[in-house]
Structures are given as structure tokens and as C-alpha cells.
Amino acid sequence: MSIFRRYYSHKVVRDIKRRYYDIQDRKQIMQNKDTRILVVLHLFYPESWSEIKEYLRNLNAYNWDLIITYPQEKKSSLPIDEIKSFKKNVSFCPNENRGYDIGPFIMAIKTIDLTKYDVVFKLQSKGVSRKRIYIYHQLFFCRDWFKNLYQGILGAHEVHQTVTAIMQSNHHKLVSADNLFVHDPIYKENMTIRQLNHLGLVMPKNYKFVAGTCFAVDAAYLKKVQRLDVALSDFKTVPSTRGLSLAHVLERYISAVSDTSFYGNKVYRLNRALKAPLRLLYRKLSAERLLDKYDINDEYMFSGLDNRLVLSKEKKVRIGDLGVISSITKQYESIDETAPYKYLQGNKKTYDDYCAYHIKHNLPVMSVERFESLIKSIKQNGYDMKKIIIVQDDNIIYDGQHRSTILAFLNGLDYQIPVLEVVIISRRQILKQVLKLILPRSVFEKLLKKRYGRETRMSNGK
């Protein structure tokens, strides 16, 4: 593993910083010496304990308790004896591996008498294996995401600012690194509000929350978490890849506060400034920019384009040259071979089977009623360019299969329509583009045929 993708204790350096700030921040520490603190840590990555415990030592100027939640299957690799040696009165809460860090946190808080505490630190052992993350218009490399989460509330200096912000203010309820208090993009906001409404919970538009959910919070604020009518069994063991999971939705709910109720510690400002040019490039290539012009399905944006870098262009294609990868057979189907097209030809059973398969396998849900509503809309209003059909460069549909079949049925397979070609920037896609440039078209199409099980029909586009 790369030296940049490991956990480090840095005991000596951290101890020097701790001693220095214990002296510098002595006044704050004395003001808050009676603060009662609870730390709830979800330890999914046991190897992270060596570094996390050094951050936790920064709390030693206060009285604090520790609860560690963890997946049951991780018990054998958990450094239990080392943790007990570090914190004698630690409580361990094993759970079934559901709901990421959010489910176990909610279950733990439901068992706590919050009146015994003033401040609660909610932590998780974030992984450091990914080389880069572009999220919320910010760029994190390897350990950056982990360091921002922990330094933001538990750094040698920041920990005292955190406690002071909550204890010495009448309005600060929640603290994190300032750059992690963020707005969701509109597609995530829409999905979050819809799902919370189904749970009987209200979330305002343009809400802000703590990305990564490592924060410190006024203990009384967590009473709303205790009131949540959810059990660990409500969280799926394998969350859907289409739409936000219950854990993601509740992550936003439990850490959402107004700007006036939030206090942000400023960390790694130089690091972020140095990455500004690269961050600007990422933003210009981000799939989110497409929303400035097009009305793209929320679930597709999340499952297909969330945090992706893309190249895009509008082009005209013959509808008959469009195709899909069947969700059932995983093979290529031309537009006139799809279940929605067959429904338009009168084959209702094939479409009913298609809808049932999607429901059973947690895929995008479609129904006869929704399809008939779409048919009526397109007949009355035509093809809405704002809701443009999105395709790959080989005319396989990313989003808009039902719209394509309706247009093909109404206008014929030779009818030409504008579509948005989107190429996701990845090593796999770059290799595909190189092969497309250097190989004869016939050879390249044979490769596609081998991949998808049958011939795809490509057009040059204009």
C-alpha cells in the first residue's frame, strides 16, 4: 500500500502539539473543564485505531466517555485489549453490518441518557485507500478526507475551539471542519426530501449538512435522533445503487443545521489553496455542470454521474441506431427489441415481466401507469430538449430508454433526434477512445459485439 494510504499515529509530533495547545488554550480549557463529553466511534476499519486514538488523546483535558460500535464480523480484528488499555470504561456495541456508520450511531444514541452529557462527538473510521475523491466541489487525495474529518474537530487546537463553540455560545449546536458543511446538489436534495417525507420527517430546501458525518454536537440536539422511528433492521445489508440509501438520507437529517447554528473550524487552508487550479479543472468537467442546461433524472444522476468527470456534446442520431444493455439479459438490444417498444406494439406481458424484474432486483421502477403518462405527455408536447436522451459514444442509452421507444414508435426508426453524448472520463473509457481512434471501424465494432453479445449500430453523428 502507498505510504499516502495508511494510518499514522505520529505520537511524538502529536504529543508536542498537544502540550503546546494545552498551554496556549488554557483559558478555554478552564472555562470548559466541567464539560461532560461522549464520543461515539464506528470502527469499521480496525487498522485506523492507531491514528484515531492519538486524536482522542486531545480530549484528555476533559471528562469523556467512549462508545465503540463495530460490525460483528470485524470482532476478531478489533484491537479490543489495546482499546481497553487506552480507555478503561469503554463500551463496545457490536452490530450487524447495516446502515454504514449511521445505523449503529442511531442505535447507540437511543440507549444513552443524553442529560448526562453536554457534547457528543460522532466519529467514523473513514477509509484512506482511494487515490482521489472529488465531492462537493472539493478534491481530496488519499488521506485528505480522513484528515479533514478528524482535524476539523479533534486537532490539538481545534478540539478546544470545538468544545468552546458549543459550551460558550447560545446558538452554536454543531461543529465540524468548515469546508465539510455543504449543500447537496439538486438531485440529491430532491431524493433526500422525498425519502424523508415518506418517513414523516421534514427537511427544508437548500439544507446544509456535514459531509462525512464526523462532528461534535450539543447533546440536547440529538433528542431528535432518539425520536427516530427506525431500527437497525430497516437498513438494507446491500443498499440500492439506484438512489440514496436510508443511511445516506438520515446522515443528512441528523447533521443538518442552519448557518447560525453551525461553527466551522478552518483546517488545511494552504492545502486547499494549492489544489485550487486542479479543483477548478475538475469543476469544469464535473457532470453536475450538465444540470445548468438539462433536466436529468435524479436517480440516474446519482447512480450514473454522481461525482463523475465527463465530456459531452449534442449530436443527431437515427433512432434505429440507438440501443440499450438489457437489465435482464445484460446483452445489447436495439431500440425496437426492448420491452417498452414491444408494449407499444401490444405485447403487454413482456413489459409486465420487465417491470416485475426491476422491482424484484431493486432497479429503477417503471409501471404501466407511468409509461402511459409519458406516452400522453410526448404525444401532446413532443420531445423536450431540456429532458434530452443521454447516450454513450456508441449510441447505447444511458438515460431515456422509454422516451426513445415512444419517439421510435410514433415517428419510425429512421427518424433523427438530437441526443446528448456523454463520455465518462475514466481509464476504461480512455482506453476505449484510444482503441476507437487506432482500430478500423469494423474491428472496433467486433470488439463491441464480443462485449455485448451482439452487434451494436453506431452512427457518426453530426
Residue 306: inside a domain: yes
- Give the CATH number for residue 176: 3.90.550
The model's pLDDT over 133-170, given as tens digits with 9 standing for 90+, comes to 899 999 999 999 999 999 999 999 999 999 999 999 88
Range of 385's domain? 282-452
Q: Do 168 and 287 fall into the same domain?
A: no
**Same structural domain for residues 374 and 241?**
no
Same domain? 95 vs 198 = yes
- Same domain? 74 vs 118: yes
More confident residue, 43 or 242: 43
Radius of gyration of the chain (CA): 26
C-alpha cell of 280? 477548478
268: number of Cβ within 10 Å: 18
| Alpha-carbon distances, residue 393 vs 225, 312, 336 (angstroms) | 46, 9, 19
> How far is CA 196 from its chain centroid?
16
| Residues 423, 431: Cα–Cα separation, whole Å | 12
Residue 237's pLDDT is: 73
Distance CA 403, CA 394 (A): 18
Judgement on whether residues 250 and 344 belong to the same structural domain of the protein = no
In a domain, 458, yes or no: no
Residue 461 domain-assigned?
A: no
Tell the residue number behind the cell numbers 422511528, with chain if given: 229
pLDDT of residue 452: 62
Together in a domain, 149 and 294: no
- As a whole number of angstroms, the distance between CA 229 and CA 175 comes to 25
Tell me the pLDDT tens digit for each residue of 4-25.
Answer: 789 999 999 999 999 999 999 9
Of 234, 253, 274, the position where a domain reaches its end is: 274
Q: What is the pLDDT of residues 408-457, one digit of tens each?
A: 999 999 999 999 999 998 877 777 767 777 878 777 777 766 666 655 55
Looking at the structure, do residues 117 and 240 belong to the same domain, yes or no? Answer: yes
pLDDT of residue 244: 85
Residue of higher predicted confidence among 446 and 327: 327
Rounded Cα–Cα distance for residues 201 and 250 (Å): 10
Question: d(Cα 39, Cα 219) in Å, to the nearest integer?
Answer: 11
Asked if 34 and 140 sit in the same domain, the reply is yes
Torsion of CA 389, 246, 123, 217, to 10 degrees: 100
Same domain, 176 and 255: yes
Phi-psi region of 81 (alpha: psi -120 to 50; beta: other; left: phi over 0): alpha
